[in-house]
Chain A
Amino acid sequence: EVQVLESGGDLVQPGGSLRLSCAASGFTFNNYAMSWVRQAPGKGLEWVSLISGTGGNTYYADSLKGRFTISRDNSKNTLYLQMNSLRAEDTAIYYCSRGGRLNDYWGQGTLVTVSS
C-alpha cells in the first residue's frame, strides 16, 4: 500500500527555520518525482516545490525562491522541505504528494504556524 507521511510541523517565530519530512512507503521511491503543496487556513491549495526522482532537478514557486529548499534521501525513502526566514504568510498545512504532474497519493499534512 502506497503511503506518504509528513512530520516536522510546529509553531515557529517569524524569521525562524523548520525542516519538514515526508516518509514514503509501498512504492519504489526513486522512480517518482515528489511534491510539496500547502494550504493556508481556510484557503485553497498552493504549489510549493517539486523534485525529480534522482533529486537532480528542483522547482519552486516564485514567491518562495531562496527561502525554501526541497531535497530527498532515496536511501531513506524520505522527502524534505527546509524552510528558512519564515513569515506569517507561510502558516499552512503542508502536504507531501507522490509525483510531479500526476500527484496520485497525498499525506495527511503537517501544520506549520508562524507566529510570535
Chain B
Amino acid sequence: DVVMTQSPLSLPVTLGQPASISCRSSLSLVYSDGNTYLSWFQQRPGQSPRRLIYNVSNRDSGVPDRFSGTGSGTDFTLSISRVEAEDVGVYYCMQATHWPFSFGQGTKLEIK
C-alpha cells in the first residue's frame, strides 16, 4: 500500500505569514493516464473535509488564490502565501493513483 507522509504534523503560524506543508508518497503517483492524482483537503473544526487542490496544482472553485499546490512524482507541497484566521484546521494530502487510496496523517495549522 502507498504510504503518505506529511510534515510537519503541527504548524503554528503568525497571521499574514506564509506556511507550507510537505507530503511524500512511498510510490510515484503518476497514473497510466498521465495524471497525478494528488489532492489536498482542508478540514476546519467540526466540519467535513473540503477539497482545495486536485491533480497536484489545480485549485478548486472558490478557493482563495493564496493556496497553491506544487510537486511531482513522490514529493508535493501545499503552500499558503499569507495565513488568515479562517485557515485554521487540519490539512490532508490524498493519493488516488494506487488502490487502496490513502491519506496523509494530517497537519494541524493553528495561529501562533
Interface residues of A (CB under 8 A from B): 37, 44-47, 50, 59-62, 95, 100-104, 106-109
Q: How far is the CB of A57 from chain B (nearest CB, A)?
A: 11
Return the contact of A106 from the options B48, B102, B103, B104 (Cβ within 8 A).
Answer: B48
Question: Cβ of B48 and Cβ of A47 under 8 Å apart?
Answer: no
Residues of B in contact with A, size category: 20 to 34
Task: Using A44-B105, A104-B51, A104-B60 as known contacts, say yes or no to A59 and B99 having CB atoms under 8 A apart.
Answer: yes
- Nearest residue in A to B103 (C-beta to C-beta)? A45
Name B's interface SS: loop
Cβ of B39 under 8 Å from chain A: yes
Return the contact of B48 from the options A100, A101, A109 (Cβ within 8 A).
Answer: A109
Question: Cβ of B100 and Cβ of A59 under 8 Å apart?
Answer: yes
Which of A44, A95, A101, A102 has its CB near the most chain B CB atoms (within 10 A)? A101
Return the contact of B92 from the options A44, A62, A102 (Cβ within 8 A).
Answer: A44
Which chain B residues border A45 with CB–CB below 8 Å? 41, 43, 49, 92, 94, 103, 106
Cβ of B50 under 8 Å from chain A: yes
Which chain A residues border B49 with CB–CB below 8 Å? 37, 45, 95, 106
Task: Using A47-B101, A109-B48 as known contacts, say yes or no to A101 and B96 having CB atoms under 8 A apart.
Answer: yes
Q: How far is the CB of B23 from chain A (nearest CB, A)?
A: 13
Question: Cβ of A103 and Cβ of B48 under 8 Å apart?
Answer: no
Which chain A residues border B48 with CB–CB below 8 Å? 95, 106-109
Question: Cβ of B96 and Cβ of A102 under 8 Å apart?
Answer: yes
> In the complex, A37→B43 CA distance in Å?
14
Question: Cβ of B103 and Cβ of A103 under 8 Å apart?
Answer: no
The contact sample of 15 A-B pairs, CB cut-off 8 A, is: A44-B105, A45-B94, A45-B103, A46-B103, A47-B101, A47-B103, A50-B99, A59-B100, A62-B100, A95-B48, A102-B96, A104-B51, A106-B50, A106-B51, A107-B48
